Each structure stands twice: as C-alpha cells, then as structure tokens.
Structure 1
Amino acid sequence: MAFDFDFASLIFSQETRRLRIETNLDDGHLLLRRLHCVEGVSQLFRLDLDLLSPNGEIKPQDIVGDKVGVIVQPDNEPKRFFLWLCEKLSIRGTGETRALCL
C-alpha cells in the first residue's frame, strides 16, 4: 500500500500553533520557531524571530521590505498581533538544516 502525501506540509502547518507568522510567501514556507519581543512605554517594539523552512530557495529579497505579521496566542489570554516591515533576514545553514532569522 502506498500513501501519497507531502510530509513537509504536515510538519510546517501553523494551524494549531500558538505562534504564527504571515508573510507574502505562500503558507507552509515558514514556521515560527522562536520569538523574542522587547516593548516599552513610548518606544517602538522590537521583534527577533527564528524561523524554519522546508524551502531552500528563500532569499532575503523575498521578505526584506515587505509586511510581516505575527500572531501570538497564549493560554487563557487574548491574541496579540504584531505587524511591521521586515528590515533584515539572515540565513543560517544549508539544505535541511537551514534556518532563517528576521
């Protein structure tokens, strides 16, 4: 018996995750692994994201300068939404060990 399914699409699904990212890329290209946020009174917020991707073809110009949205949904608390323009993208590793940082 043979099964025909895309294993990467199962792993990189954001549907049930508490941290989600929205970009101009198609769904399933990025998975938010870690979020570090700094907020302050009368200050701009700063977000640092660690992302994973099964797509080894993503380049900085695919995201830098575009809108990025993050949804944070903690237990028993309301959702938080962050929206900003991506300033930089760094890529670590190659192939299956590739990680992206915004």
Structure 2
Amino acid sequence: RVRQEKVEATVNDARSQLTPEPEAGTPNRIQVLIRTPQGARLKRAFLGSDPVGQLYHYVNAEGGEALAGSEYRLVSSMPRAVFEDREVTLEAAGLKGQCALLVENVED
C-alpha cells in the first residue's frame, strides 16, 4: 500500500511538472520515441530548450507503475549515450529532430 501511494505521488508530481507538448512545425521541436523494458513505446515531442528532466517526467507520468516505482536511466543505443544529467537541455545533450531512446533499469 505504501509503495502504491509512493508510485501515485511520483506519477502525479511528474504530470504536474511536464511542459506542454509543442505543436508540429514549432521551431526546435524534437520528436522522441522511448522504448520501455516492458515493450511499450512512448512517443512525444519536446523543445530543444527543454531540460532532459522533462523526458524523465514523461516516462514517470506515462510509463506505468513499473517505471514510476523503479530506478532507471535513459540511453540511446547508436551511438550509446546515457542521459542522466537532468538539468542540461535536450539540444545540449545532442538530441535533435527525431530520436529513439531506451529505458534501462539501474541495477542495485
């Protein structure tokens, strides 16, 4: 029960901090596809000026209980890069146009 409440709080907090999705044609718009370990595909657009933390808010808000209640990091596979600095902008992290990321569970 306590775990469930913690997960719900994480999801609600993430939803409240998520910025509005930019419309198609907006300059500096980045289309992101995030694949989860459970096989889900989360798709959303962000601005290049948004911090990487917005990606984590999105995954926590939409990834379900399994992700909101676990430790994970976002990575790209080709070339491999780990996006853990949540303060840096998406553009500064090297993300642009359309990109695909993976949710990677962090082992204890």
TM-score in terms of structure 1 length = 0.31
More strand by percentage: 1
TM-score in terms of structure 2 length = 0.30
More helix by percentage: 2
**Taking CA–CA contacts closer than 8 Å with sequence separation of 6 or more, which of the two structures ends up with the larger relative contact order?**
2
